[in-house]
Chain A
């Protein structure tokens, strides 16, 4: 073998190695993030001897900001706050998003795919602080006037801001799912004499169901992780929300607000790391849910349009 060939092969292996290293770097980065969060977050339970039960189900939040410990680290308020705001956001946003997705795929396909969809997708990239800022300056006074409240800051405001924020995500994913339903299914339904609504409701939506659910979960994941936009409108009081208009805190807003002012290695900071760990585990959970739905979707699709599906055939 001459030298130029050998050089070529050396180059080949070098670049292959480099690409592999980069691939593995991404893996190790994810594992590193998880490991650091577990290490830091477990201090609440291992170093300061709080029980997991107390952390998850107690609403007494009074950690000591030093290494002595002995405070209370119940994070129930923040967990409930996060759950309430995100549930509200989904309740507001899901009907609109799915409705818009149906409009742009079933009713006005040309306008929908040419204008509506690009506009919606552009909005998916709008910075959350801008949503928060507009929520703060426009939505809060509005809520205050309409419902005669002393302040506009509320779970409701946070829910609305999040709903607007996740609307583009859910819309574009569910319209993808609806578009993926094969034309044959629709034609068959029309051929049997169904109206458009009957076709949509009885054929298209059930077939696109798993895809729409993964869109909603993606939106939910985004809503859970949002920190600053929510912090601007939720009022930041450490209390369980009692109504739509009460002020509270969420996991992310509490981390954003307190992390900078607490001392390193102290009980407060450990509790905050545990909360970050919860967020990490939640996003893992969401991913497994989405994968589950995608898999279900694939099975469904390959069942209905086995001949045309692009996916690999199973023997």
Chain B
């Protein structure tokens, strides 16, 4: 067999190997998602969807969404502002490099370390109780770097003519940023926010020592200061992911944990697919320009 033939044979073999690898991993991922969602929903009893104190997941679902919403309330303004600073105001040099290292560090911190930090600062130093509020702050530390970097990338990705045109019309720098650059970036920032929300939904380790387990909500109690009111920020609030963890450690309600996994996965999938579609649209729009 001569060299060319052998090279061709090896080439064919490797192509088959790569097809196999890709197919196997693709099927594994799809099978995983299908198993979790279908298995979880099929094994569920109708009463599990309720909002009772025990053996349901409605309250946890509400807590999850509420907590992520609150964390975004903290992290979005801060992250967007930091992104604007980084892309428009910060002088190139040691400062920006240092800030970037800080953001990278924040984004790669293990979530349990962030949880411990939240526990230390808010519970031990500031004296809060384990509550939804503290959990939301911890999650916002986790989502902050993502929002900052998306904002920075979005602003830097705009054509420079936007800024120049606006400055040429006599606006100040802040006016250009606020009235021209940021509005043009909103779709991309939204994508980042949706991704951040997706990350927040699944967070468990950071909440382990900050929100506490168990949740006690009375749905007819709308007095915001009462510890059983759904809207009260300063009550313990178990989220879906914490519920799965709790059921694993000291429960035997497998079907409920399966259902919680399925709902959590659906929630995350809906958000990431939403972000994907949004960014796809943006790409299309930009391609048309």
Residues of A within 8 A of B (CB): 8-9, 11-12, 15-16, 18-20, 22-23, 25-27, 29-34, 36-37, 40, 95-96, 99-100, 102-104, 106-108, 112, 116, 118-123, 125-130, 132-134, 136-138, 164, 167-168, 171, 194-198, 200-201, 218, 221, 224-228, 232, 252, 255-256, 259-260, 264, 273, 276, 279-280, 283-284, 286-287, 290-291
Q: Which residue of A lies closest to B267 (CB)?
A: A127
Of the residues B32, B98, B104, B241, contact of A134 by C-beta under 8 Å: B32
Of the residues B102, B124, B203, contact of A27 by C-beta under 8 Å: B102
Which stretch in B47-55, B84-92, B224-232 binds the other chain? B84-92
How long is the Cα–Cα vector from A138 to B271 in the complex, in angstroms? 26
Q: What are 14 pairs between A and B in contact, CB < 8 Å?
A: A23-B89, A25-B78, A26-B82, A26-B148, A29-B106, A37-B117, A116-B22, A127-B265, A128-B204, A130-B36, A196-B15, A224-B110, A276-B116, A291-B104
Of the residues B28, B81, B264, contact of A23 by C-beta under 8 Å: B81
Task: List, in ascending order, chain A residues with CB within 8 A of B110's CB.
Answer: 224-227, 252, 279, 283
A26 and B103: CB pair below 8 A?
yes
Of the residues B30, B35, B103, B202, contact of A128 by C-beta under 8 Å: B202
A100 and B25: CB pair below 8 A?
yes
Task: List, in ascending order, chain B residues with CB within 8 A of A218's CB.
Answer: 108
Of the residues B10, B19, B33, B258, contact of A197 by C-beta under 8 Å: B10
B178 within 8 A of A: yes
A103 and B19: CB pair below 8 A?
yes
B82 and A129: CB pair below 8 A?
no
Task: List, in ascending order, chain B residues with CB within 8 A of A29's CB.
Answer: 102, 106, 141, 144
Q: How far is the CB of B271 from chain A (nearest CB, A)?
A: 8
Of the residues A31, A122, A232, A286, contact of B276 by C-beta under 8 Å: A122
Task: List, in ascending order, chain B residues with CB within 8 A of A96's CB.
Answer: 21, 24-25
Residues of B in contact, count (CB < 8 Å): 88
Of the residues B21, B141, B175, B203, contact of A99 by C-beta under 8 Å: B21
Q: How far is the CB of A4 from chain B (nearest CB, A)?
A: 12
Which stretch in B159-167, B193-201, B214-222 binds the other chain? B193-201
Known contacts A100-B21, A127-B241, A129-B204; A26 and B195 CB within 8 A of each other: no
Of the residues B121, B172, B261, B276, contact of A121 by C-beta under 8 Å: B276
Of the residues B32, B81, B173, contact of A12 by C-beta under 8 Å: B173
B105 and A30: CB pair below 8 A?
yes
B286 within 8 A of A: no
How long is the Cα–Cα vector from A221 to B109 in the complex, in angstroms? 8
B102 and A164: CB pair below 8 A?
no
B257 within 8 A of A: yes
How long is the Cα–Cα vector from A233 to B85 in the complex, in angstroms? 43
Known contacts A103-B19, A125-B195, A127-B264; A36 and B120 CB within 8 A of each other: yes
How long is the Cα–Cα vector from A45 to B65 in the complex, in angstroms? 42
How long is the Cα–Cα vector from A252 to B206 in the complex, in angstroms? 12
B15 and A130: CB pair below 8 A?
no
Q: How far is the CB of B71 from chain A (nearest CB, A)?
A: 14
B111 within 8 A of A: yes
Task: List, in ascending order, chain B residues with CB within 8 A of A227's CB.
Answer: 110-112, 205, 208
B101 within 8 A of A: yes
Known contacts A119-B26, A198-B11; A20 and B105 CB within 8 A of each other: no
Q: Which residue of A lies closest to B171 (CB)?
A: A8
6 nearest A-B pairs in the assembled complex, by CB-CB distance: A127-B202, A225-B110, A23-B85, A22-B81, A99-B21, A195-B11
Of the residues B29, B35, B208, contact of A120 by C-beta under 8 Å: B29
B209 within 8 A of A: yes
| Given contact pairs A225-B113, A232-B248, a sample of 12 additional A-B residue pairs in the complex whose CB atoms are under 8 Å apart | A15-B178, A18-B81, A33-B117, A108-B22, A123-B33, A195-B10, A196-B11, A200-B14, A224-B110, A225-B108, A227-B112, A287-B105
How long is the Cα–Cα vector from A102 to B20 in the complex, in angstroms? 12
- Per-residue CB proximity of B220-262 to A under 8 Å, as 1/0? 0000000000000000000001001100100000100110010
A225 and B102: CB pair below 8 A?
no
B128 within 8 A of A: no
Q: Which residue of A lies closest to B90 (CB)?
A: A23
A130 and B261: CB pair below 8 A?
yes
Of the residues B15, B77, B109, B268, contact of A283 by C-beta under 8 Å: B109
A138 and B202: CB pair below 8 A?
no
A102 and B11: CB pair below 8 A?
no
Task: List, in ascending order, chain A residues with CB within 8 A of B111's CB.
Answer: 225, 227
How long is the Cα–Cα vector from A232 to B247 in the complex, in angstroms? 11
How long is the Cα–Cα vector from A273 to B209 in the complex, in angstroms? 14
A102 and B109: CB pair below 8 A?
no
Of the residues B10, B177, B205, B269, contact of A256 by C-beta under 8 Å: B205
B186 within 8 A of A: no
How long is the Cα–Cα vector from A106 to B265 in the complex, in angstroms? 31
How long is the Cα–Cα vector from A9 to B175 in the complex, in angstroms? 11
Task: List, in ascending order, chain A residues with CB within 8 A of B271's CB.
Answer: 125
How long is the Cα–Cα vector from A280 to B102 in the complex, in angstroms? 12
A119 and B30: CB pair below 8 A?
yes
B102 and A30: CB pair below 8 A?
yes
B198 and A125: CB pair below 8 A?
yes
A103 and B112: CB pair below 8 A?
no
B102 and A104: CB pair below 8 A?
no
